[in-house]
A = this chain, B = another copy of it.
Amino acid sequence: MKLCYQVATPDVAIADSVTAYQGPLEKSFYDLASFGYDGVELMTLNPSELNWDFVRKEAEKNKLSVVLVCTGEIFGQLGLSYTHPKEEVRKEAIRRTKEIIDFASALGANINIGRIRGQYCSQLSKEQTEQLAIDAFKDLSEYGGKKKVEIALETVTIMQTNFINTLQEAAKMIKAVDHPYFKLMMDVFHLNLEEKDICQAIREYSKYNIHVHLADNNRRYPGHCGLDFEKILSTFEECGYYGNFCTEIFQIPSQEEAAKGAIAHLRPILNKVYGDKNNS
C-alpha cells in the first residue's frame, strides 16, 4: 500500500482546475518525496513529448513509485472521447490512450479511464453509446494486457458526465467487457456524490477495485472538510484492499499546503488502520 499524490507532467496546461502538483517534474517529485509520499500518479496529455527514461529515473532517485497514469486531460483539454458521435474523434481518443498505456508500461504503472469515456448525447442512442464504450474498453484491455497495464474504470459524478456515475453502473460495464485487465477504481469525492452509502458501496464492489482516489467532500485535501477518512480507510482495509491511495484534489490554498495537509491527515490514519501492512 502506498500513499501517492497526483502530478501533472509538463505537457499538461497549467490551470486552476487541475487537481495535480504542477511544475518541473524534478521539483514535483523532490517536494512530494520530502513531504513523505511513497508514490505518484501522473496526469499526462502527450507522453511523446516526454523523456520516459528521465521520468523513470527521477522517480527512482526520489524513491517514488509511479502507480497510475491518468487519461482525463485527453478529454479535459482536447475534448476527445470513446463515445463521441464522430468516428475520427473516437479513434484519436483510443490512439492517445494506447500511447499512455505504452508510457505507463515503461513506468510499471496502470492507467485509469475517467471522463475520456464520453457521455450520452442526442446523436446516438444509449445502446450505441454503451456499445462504443464496451468496444473501446475491450480494445484497450487487449492492448493493456500485452503491456501488463491494467485499465481502471472510474465512476464520475453526474455533475461532470451523464455516463457511468455509480459503482453499480461501472460493475455492469466491467462484466460486459469481461477482460482480466479491465477493472475498477474508486474516488471517494465521486462516491460521496453518487452512492447511497460510501462504505457499503466500497464493500459491495471491492472485488473489482484496483486503485483509490482520496479527496474531502469539498475536493480539498483530506482533513480540510467533513468526510470521515478513518471510517472510509478502515472499510478498504476490511475488504482486503492493499492497493494504492492517491489524492486527487484542488491545489488550495497552494499545492505545497494541499500536499502537506493531505499527508498530515492521512498518514496517522493509514498507520493506525493498516499497521504493519502499511508499506507492503
A115 to B195, CA, bound (A): 26
| Chain A interface main SS type | loop
Q: A158's contact among B158, B165, B250, by CB below 8 Å, is which?
A: B250
* Most chain B beta carbons < 10 A, residue from A158, A195, A197, A218: A218
Q: Measured between C-beta atoms, what is the minimum distance from A205 to chain B in Å?
A: 15
Interface size in chain A (residues, C-beta < 8 A): 19
A192 to B192, CA, bound (A): 9
Q: A217's contact among B16, B193, B219, B226, by CB below 8 Å, is which?
A: B193
Q: Measured between C-beta atoms, what is the minimum distance from A157 to chain B in Å?
A: 8
With A158-B250, A159-B159 given, is the CB distance from A193 to B218 under 8 Å? yes
A264 to B253, CA, bound (A): 42
Say whether A192 contacts B217, CB under 8 Å.
yes
Question: 1/0 per residue A214-226: CB within 8 Å of B?
Answer: 0001110000011
With A158-B219, A219-B158 given, is the CB distance from A225 to B196 under 8 Å? yes
Q: Measured between C-beta atoms, what is the minimum distance from A140 to chain B in Å?
A: 28
Which residues in chain A, 200-238, are within 8 Å of chain B measured between CB atoms? 217-219, 225-226
A278 within 8 A of B: no
- What residue of chain B has the Cβ atom nearest to residue A219's Cβ? B158
A270 to B61, CA, bound (A): 61
- What residue of chain B has the Cβ atom nearest to residue A224's Cβ? B196
Residues of B within 8 A of A196 (CB): 225-226
Question: 1/0 per residue A123-160: CB within 8 Å of B?
Answer: 00000000000000000000000000000000001111
Residues of B within 8 A of A165 (CB): 218
A58 within 8 A of B: no
A162 within 8 A of B: yes
A196 to B160, CA, bound (A): 22
A157 to B158, CA, bound (A): 14
A117 to B197, CA, bound (A): 33
A31 within 8 A of B: no
A16 to B122, CA, bound (A): 11
What would 19 A/B residue contacts be, using CB atoms closer than 8 Å?
A16-B162, A157-B218, A158-B219, A158-B250, A159-B159, A159-B160, A159-B219, A165-B218, A192-B192, A192-B193, A193-B217, A194-B217, A194-B218, A194-B225, A195-B225, A195-B226, A196-B225, A196-B226, A197-B226
Given contacts A192-B192, A195-B225, A197-B226, 18 further A-B pairs with CB under 8 A are A16-B162, A157-B159, A157-B218, A158-B218, A158-B219, A158-B250, A159-B159, A159-B219, A165-B218, A192-B193, A192-B217, A193-B193, A193-B217, A193-B218, A194-B218, A194-B225, A196-B225, A196-B226
